[in-house]
Structure 1
Amino acid sequence: MSNNSTCIRPSMISTTVLPITYIFLCIIGLFGNSLAQWVFLTKIGKKTSTHIYLANLVTANLLVCTAMPFMGTYFLKGFYWKYESVQCRLVNFLGTLSMHVSMFVSLLILSWIAISRYATLMKKESLQDTTSCYERMVYGHLLKRFRQPNFARKMCIYIWGVVLVVIIPLVLYYSVVEATEEGESQCYNRQMEMGASTSQIAGLIGTTFIGLSFLVVVTSYYSFVSHLRRIRTSILEKDLTYRSVKRHLWIIQLLLVVCFLPYSIFKPIFYVLYQRGGDCEQLNYLIEAKNVLTCLASARSSTDPIIFLLLDKTFKKTLYDLFTKS
């Protein structure tokens, strides 16, 4: 056993709490997202752009949920497996690939939903006499497309294609090359948990991407709030469309703050502290903090069906009709 393998020792949080959490999230996530996907695909006739974005978001969620048993098994048995074993290679590749692909697809789709909701606001404003020429042009030539179902389908295909093309080579390189560069023997080791230079650079780029996605949602939200303050009227404040858009953007923003923001803030700190070195105890704390925040980021996939009830009235009504009839 190498010194690195001796240094990295998982605590009860990694070997017990994380596996149980992943299995629990997997069960409720598979049930909720499968039900949501069935509703989106079979029970909603005329699909809007929001329905298409949400259906693809559910697909990404299901991908995360199928990866959760692999992640739980890795934390439960990884320290006892040899890296060369089939179990380690399979769990490492499938778990890492599914988790990262679905995470970035979800972020892009959430950003697209935020823009689509903002486009709903701009559609109503483009019909007002007080709307500026610039605002009419922005909605007429750009934002309006985000509300078109055909555009939504094409964008979702592009999102999946780009993410798969970028992530698969990186995960292959990480799983096959980097994790064995220092001759680690255990499946749960320093290189697997922290990556080498290529994975760390890719991780920082991914963290920047998370920040940009968060910025898109925040910008949409505060543009909406600023607009309300600028043209506030008694009629406008009672308009259900404005209240609905505001609620949608606030929910998406809350999701990113709670689930993704802690992960994206900690990741650069994690790499900086790792480069400075430190004793084994500090290293284990850093790794376990990263794993807990990764689990928190993936938990969003299991709770999304609850969010759909708040985001889409058609989805909520369809479920209500199904349960009342049964």
Structure 2
Amino acid sequence: MKNSTCLLQPSLATTVALPVIYSFLFPAGIFGNILATWIFSRQAPTKRTQYIYLVNLATANLLVCITMPFLAAYFAKGYQWTYHSGACRTAVHLGTLIMHVSMYVTIIILCLTAVSQYATLKKNSDAQYSQAVNENFHRCVLVKFRQPKFAKYLCIIIWLTVICITVTAITYNAQAGAVEGLDRCYNVRVEAGEFTTMIAASLATACFFVSFTTVLLSYYSLTRHLSKIQKNTCIGEKHLIYSRVKRNILVIQIILTVCFLPYHIFRPIFYVLLTNNDCPRLEYLVETKNFLTCLAAAKSSLDPVIILLIDKTFKKHLYGLFTKSTPEHHKREADIFTEKTPEM
């Protein structure tokens, strides 16, 4: 796309609606995710695997939210900035790039959370169901996902990979921008990218669909597993616990479907339909992409609300911030994100 002569003309939907949406999402996301990070790191039992994932999820959400003012400014004024201005380079590097990278961290961690939920519940049910598959590779992998140490190392690897990708991408963009001599900040190269950008986008899309399929298989496997043990044993009061974990994995699947799936279905279509000579079509495609990106970013602001609805420990500690409830009130509360079977 670097040789395109098309000058993008953003509509009011881009210059007004997107900045307003990001401006509303920013304070809600910052407050909610800082609160969630504090609760999970200070109040909740963070040595448990699920809370390690949740702390990292809240941190990634926070990074996405921090980029929102830059994105709001870019969509409001980007068509007036020159490409080499400080405002443009800041918005493109700290806004678009870091937001996308952090967004994929949240996708991966959501996937890990779902697998960990499945692994934990399967451990509890397998303890009394089967001893014949102890050496099974599938079982050994699930054991790893229940280990807090493994979760910590996995999150460290994810963040190190993200930092390397971010630094490399920013360096590449800075060098490429110096050669191109572009005029406006809101242009085809920034919005569509070049060949290397398309390759990175293809890998990111593949990463999403692997995560999406993994969560889907976790939900299917859990449903099938519960159906099997119900035929062989009477699970009684544990049924509610199993149903909650099943619901939590379903919630993760819904989040991935509603917030991320439309964007990742559209992005390959976006690159296929890009035509240098057809400016009206290109403007329509770019604006559609930007609104679907906004939908994906909105998930980071809504995550604390979702956690509040489904996580009882988070709800208890949040309630405790505004009441004078005693520590005994919070002790050993039922929790959907724990290694051990929660009390009912």
Establish whether TM, by shorter chain, passes 0.5: yes
The answer for the alignment partner of 2:220 in structure 1 is 222
Alignment partner, residue 90 of structure 1: 90
1:64-103 matches, cutoff 5 A: 64-103=64-103
**Residue 196 of structure 1 corresponds to which residue in structure 2?**
194
Structure 2 CA distance for aligned equivalents of residues 299 and 237 of structure 1: 39
Distance (Å, rounded) in 1 between the aligned partners of 2:48 and 2:281: 50
Aligned partner of 1:312 in structure 2 is 311
- What root-mean-square deviation, in Å, do the aligned CA atoms of Structure 1 and Structure 2 show? 2.2
> What are the superposed Cα offsets for residues 252-285 of structure 1, whole Å, 9 maximum, x if unpaired?
00110011100110000000001x5552111100
Structure 1 SS opposite 2:323: helix
Q: Which residue of 2 aligns with 1:150?
A: 149
- The structure-2 alpha-carbon separation of the partners of 1:137 and 1:80, relative to structure 1 and needing over 3 Å to count, comes to same
Residue 321 of structure 2: aligned partner: 322
Query: What is the aligned partner in structure 1 of residue 339 from structure 2?
Result: none
Q: Identity, % of aligned pairs? A: 47
The whole-number CA distance in structure 1 between the counterparts of 2:195 and 2:46 is 48
Equivalent pairs counted in the alignment come to: 322
Distance 1:207 1:322 in 2: 40
Could you tell me which residue of structure 2 aligns to residue 44 of structure 1?
A: 44
Distance in 1, matches of 2:253 and 2:236, equals 21
User: 4+ residue runs of structure 1 moved beyond 6 angstroms?
Assistant: none
Aligned to 1:21: 21
Verify the 8 A CA contact 1:79 1:188 in the aligned structure 2. yes
| 1:304 shift after superposition | 0.5
Name the CA distance, whole Å, in 2 between partners of 1:228 and 1:114: 16
Structure 1 equivalent of residue 117 of structure 2: 117
CA distance in 2, matches of 1:184, 1:200: 19
In structure 2, relative to structure 1, the CA distance for the partners of 1:139 and 1:205 (3 Å cut) is closer
Please say if residues 19 and 76 of structure 2, whose CA atoms lie closer than 8 Å, have aligned partners that are also in contact.
yes
Shift of residue 213, structure 1, vs aligned partner: 0.7
| Unmatched runs of 5 consecutive residues or more in structure 1 | none
CA contact (8 A) 1:88 1:187 kept: yes
1:275-286 equivalences in 2 (<5 Å): 276-277=275-276, 279-286=278-285
1:289 corresponding residue in structure 2: 288
Residue 166 of structure 1 corresponds to which residue in structure 2? 165
* 1:120 and 1:245 in contact (8 A); partners too: no
Unaligned runs of 5+ in 2: 326-344
What is the deviation of 1:307? 1.6
Q: Is residue 82–residue 88 contact of structure 2 (8 Å, CA) maintained in 1? A: yes
> What's 1:187 paired with?
185
For residues 106 and 36 of structure 2, the distance between their equivalents in structure 1, rounded to whole angstroms, comes to 15
Partner of 2:332: none
Q: Where do 1:190-269 residues align within 5 Å?
A: 190-233=188-231, 235-236=234-235, 238-239=237-238, 240-269=240-269
**Distance (whole Å) between structure 2 residues aligned to residue 142 and residue 85 of structure 1:** 49
Distance 2:294 2:46 in 1: 35
How far is 1:154 from its partner? 1.3
Q: Structure 1 length as normaliser, TM-score? A: 0.92
Residue by residue over 1:234-255, the C-alpha shift from the partner in whole angstroms, topping out at 9 and shown as x without a partner, is 8437523211210110010011
CA contact under 8 A between 2:4 and 2:276: conserved in structure 1? no
SS in 2 for 1:184: coil
Name which of structure 1's ranges 136-145 and 77-86 shifts more when overlaid on structure 2: 136-145
- Per-residue CA deviation, residues 290-322 of structure 1 (Å, 9 max, x unaligned), is 000111111010001012124432212211222
Aligned partners of 1:135, 1:157: CA distance in 2, in Å? 29
Distance 2:36 2:67 in 1: 19
In 2, the alpha carbon distance for the partners of 1:118 and 1:38 equals: 26
Please state which structure has a larger fraction of its residues in helix.
1
- Stretch moving more, 110-119 or 136-145: 136-145
What is the CA-CA distance between 1:7 and the residue it aligns to?
A: 3.1
> Paired residue for 2:53?
53
Check conservation: 2:40, 2:46, Cα contact below 8 A. Answer: no
